[in-house]
Amino acid sequence: MDYVLIAENPDDAPVEFPLEDDSTLLLSTVEAQFVGATGLKFVNPATGAHRVVRLVEGRLYPPEKEGSGWGDRTYFTVYPKDVKRKHEEDEKEKEPVAPKVPKTVHKCRDLIVLGLPWETTDETLKAYFEKNYGEVAMASRDTPDFWADIRQESVAHIENYVDHLVIEASHLPQVKLNKNGRSRGFGFVRFNDYEIQRTVMLSRHEIDGRWCDVSFPPSAKACNNKIFVGRLTTDISADDLRQYFAPMGDITDSFIPKPFRGIGFVAFLDPDVARQACLMGDHVIKGVTVHVELATPKPSNNGQQLSRTWRWQRWWAMEW
């Protein structure tokens, strides 16, 4: 039995279809694989144009004046315009559609620098960021909002790490010292330009010979940059979540827990973008309307939030 190669599009892998004894091909055989197909075409090597295969009473005949019959070329299916249009629309619905993103007003925030060497001073910290990124802003005499949030929430692991911390009327960056005047291994910095802040947070930093992390201080109210995505189907992957939400802002991670429970998480670089995503109404991914809200850690047995170490806040280290 002889076969002919047929594909729907040039980028698709061809499928072998059996020929009849008279070397014709039944259109019904093609339709069984490609629903709605009404014929075949191939590229004429002499002109580069598509040539249609002759169809008579439901049978497709090999190209005329071709001694080798069907040959070893690949043929492509032909559809009526309305069927083709509907087929393309159905395929488009399966793809993640970028949401219509409202304009987000980005603002610069105080950033925490973790892992500083003990010998790092305010001056060397400021010099590092100004040399490599740009102008460093001055701090106001008002206490930053996120520290007020932290005190109100009384997060245990923050109090243990930054006990009796007071932000004074001094410039940023600022290396925090203990009561003996030694560095406590972390400091703060603020920039005037949001794009500089964005670049700093997307980069790794070697300060005084040691790799350091820069992130938002862990205030759940002011700096929650993660969203919970519910009602997922099994054909939606973490990459689909990243592709869908990427137009809204920089994404640092996307995650779907295993075993599959119909939920996922997306972490944005900017918490303002995360909040904006929750205010946009319906989100449709691959034709599925999903539920989006700010992600919050599940409570422990005693009803309090599970403590986390700032430097190791990674998806695989979190308990949601």
Same domain assignment for residues 53 and 119: no
* 99 in any annotated domain: no
How many domains are contained in the chain? 3
Residue 56, beta-bridge partner list:
59
Same domain assignment for residues 122 and 145: yes
pLDDT 10s digits, 218-264: 654 456 889 999 999 999 999 999 999 999 889 999 999 999 999 99
Question: With 60 as the cut, is the pLDDT of residue 151 above it?
Answer: no
pLDDT 10s digits, 9-40: 888 899 999 999 888 999 999 999 898 899 99
pLDDT for 157 equals 41
* d(C-alpha 97, C-alpha 88), whole Å: 14
* 119 in any annotated domain: yes
* 22 in any annotated domain: yes
Same domain assignment for residues 299 and 209: no
- Chain centroid to Cα 130, Å, comes to 30
Same domain assignment for residues 84 and 164: no
* 200 in any annotated domain: yes
- b/e per residue 105-116 (b: at least 16 CB within 10 A): eeeebbbbbbeb
Question: With 80 as the cut, is the pLDDT of residue 314 above it?
Answer: no
Q: Which position has the higher pLDDT, 121 or 206?
A: 206
Same domain assignment for residues 244 and 198: no
pLDDT for 142 equals 32
pLDDT for 143 equals 34
Region of poorest pLDDT, from 36-45, 117-126, 295-304: 295-304
Same domain assignment for residues 78 and 11: yes
pLDDT for 281 equals 79
Q: What is the CATH number of the domain that holds 232?
A: 3.30.70.330
pLDDT 10s digits, 170-194: 344 556 566 666 667 888 888 888 8
* 164 in any annotated domain: yes
pLDDT for 227 equals 94
* d(C-alpha 39, C-alpha 99), whole Å: 38
* 103 in any annotated domain: no
Same domain assignment for residues 115 and 186: yes
pLDDT 10s digits, 252-301: 999 999 999 999 999 998 888 898 899 887 899 998 999 999 987 655 55
Question: With 70 as the cut, is the pLDDT of residue 315 above it?
Answer: no
Residue-number span of the structural domain to which 37 is assigned: 3-94
Where is the domain boundary, 188, 215, 242? 215
Same domain assignment for residues 287 and 246: yes
Same domain assignment for residues 307 and 235: yes
Name the amino acid, one letter, at 98.
A
Secondary structure (DSSP) of 127-182: HHHHHHT-PBPPPPSSPPHHHHHHHHHT-HHHHHHSTT----S-PSSEEEE-TTS-
Same domain assignment for residues 204 and 116: yes
* d(C-alpha 27, C-alpha 152), whole Å: 73
Binned at pLDDT 50, 70 and 90, residue 320 comes out as very low
pLDDT for 265 equals 96
Where is the domain boundary, 215, 237, 252? 215
Same domain assignment for residues 121 and 80: no
Q: Which position has the higher pLDDT, 52 or 185?
A: 52
Arithmetic mean of pLDDT over the chain: 76
Consecutive H or E run containing 47? none
Where is the domain boundary, 215, 235, 253? 215
* 105 in any annotated domain: no
pLDDT for 148 equals 43
Q: What's the pTM value of the predicted model, to 2 decimals?
A: 0.49
Name the amino acid, one letter, at 2.
D
* 48 in any annotated domain: yes
Same domain assignment for residues 116 and 211: yes
